A and B are shown apart, each in its own frame.
Chain A
């Protein structure tokens, strides 16, 4: 049973470009969470999704950020028109029941 898979591991974008981060949850997990972490900072909750539905997006900026978890395929976190302040590690986690979270290795986004 493969763990949570995130790709790419590293993503470099120039200001104004789009960033698409992918997350495949563990098999059998229908709950997906996205967190952002800045250097020397804690994990900041962004969004919680359950197959095709956004359950809680209270931590996600209203503009430029969106997330989806389609019936088929990975969850996608999309950041449009990236700015330098978006540079961070983005972690995805999955869970079978909105309890214990299992994390992917993260995507390190660098905006030049």
Chain B
């Protein structure tokens, strides 16, 4: 089983839609989780950290489910500018941070 797995998509949604991504992780000892956003040919940029209690930042909500070992990202009221690849990150078994392959989102007018 890969350490961090995501549905690659693509998710094609209309503007204004709500979309959710899930990501599973295999290292039950992992303490740190993040969502990054990567635009084509650019470097990944931190979108938000994921806390046990869940956290919200504007239209974005991240949740962690330790029992089922998955994290989620919810985007409400999608904008065209949300089109990107969303990368899930979790702690690896060696103490480093492992990235998922990313979920591609395309928001259409």
Binding site for B on A (CB under 8 A): 33, 35, 41-43, 45, 48, 55-56, 58, 89, 91, 98-106
Contact B96 A45 (CB under 8 A): yes
Q: In the complex, which residue of chain A has the Cβ closest to the Cβ of B42?
A: A105
Size band of the B side of the interface?
20 to 34
Nearest CB on B from A4, distance (A): 8
Residue among B97, B98, B101 making CB contact with A41, cutoff 8 Å: B101
**B contacts with A: majority SS:** loop
Contacts of B17 in A (CB 8 A): none
Nearest CB on B from A12, distance (A): 17
Contact A33 B43 (CB under 8 A): no
Q: Provide the B27-55 mask, 1 if CB < 8 A to any CB of A, else 0.
A: 00000101000000111111001000000
A42-B99, A42-B100 in contact; A91/B94 too (CB < 8 A)? no
